[in-house]
Structure 1
């Protein structure tokens, strides 16, 4: 009986140490998860789809773009896309350029969207082009929707 009590006491003490260690590790982990610096987040989902409205377009391609604290995401050129957005202060309309080549007048609408946060402010932007050629011409030279 004495052996059994000692075993139970040792087991209870070990459990207390494990739980205390777990709690301490949990507190240490929570402290380590705090940001080391403050920054305004910039993270978006960019998409290209077929259709004349963002809500009804069939999405064909999408990419994530995180610009703060460092450029990353599934976008193939996150640094260049972030630099481009920084240059226009996150104004997606400013990415458009004058078309250099004519496109057919075929109506096969393409909608591009950007949803998320740019420097701490909500972004919900979209543009619809008559067809893929018009989209390429209007966004020529822009890396943001090149995925």
Structure 2
């Protein structure tokens, strides 16, 4: 009788060890589909006066999400996302508008962009001569 009990216990523990992990497995179905088919694109943009982010006095920060739709606290989220898509996420490729004229007064403004663009990490910093020059780069930096 002892041998039978020992075999039953061993068989029960073995079955639990082998089959236990399988009980939580589920077959993929329509309810288990990914929530989004888009790579994440979420950024935090900051601006402040100074020559670099390390020395600048922070003034404002906004959020910008571009996938699946444009949203966030950025005042022109749709336009900013369109500019980023047009530049394929390359912030250095953004150019100043030709029809904006700014003074050459030196009052540096620094902009930083941190986050993820289409699944890739972004860390960007740019210093403009003044706020007019920053705003001339379009909707992305005009906040």
Taking structure 1 as the reference length, the TM-score comes to 0.67
Residue equivalent to 1:101: 101
Q: Deviations over 1:10-46 (max 9, x none)?
A: xxxxxxxxxxxxxxxxxxxxxx897433321000001
CA contact (8 A) 2:40 2:67 kept: yes
Shift in Å at residue 145 of structure 1? 1.4
Tell me, what secondary structure is at the counterpart of 2:70?
A: coil
Q: Which runs of 5+ in 1 are unaligned?
A: 1-31
Alignment correspondent of 2:14: none
Structure 2 Cα separation of the partners of residues 36 and 87 of structure 1? 26
Number of equivalenced pairs: 112
Equivalent residues of 2:47, 2:59 under 8 A apart: yes
Correspondence for 1:58 = 57
Farther off after superposition, 33-42 or 49-58: 33-42
Other-structure match for 1:5: none
Contact 2:135 2:142 in 1 (8 A): no
Q: Deviations over 1:114-142 (max 9, x none)?
A: 110000001111111222233234x1xx1
- Listed as ranges, the gaps of 5+ residues in structure 2 are 1-30
Residue 75 of structure 1 corresponds to 74
RMSD: 2.1
Equivalence for 1:88: 87
What is residue 45 of structure 1 aligned with on the other side? 44
Match of 1:115 in 2: 114
**Pair 130,122 (structure 1): closer, same or farther in 2 beyond 3 Å:** same
Provide, for residues 70-105 of structure 1, a one-character-per-residue CA deviation record: whole Å limited to 9, x for no partner: 21100112122111111110111222226542513x
Report the secondary structure of 1:68's partner residue: coil
Give secondary structure in 2 for the equivalent of 1:83.
Answer: helix
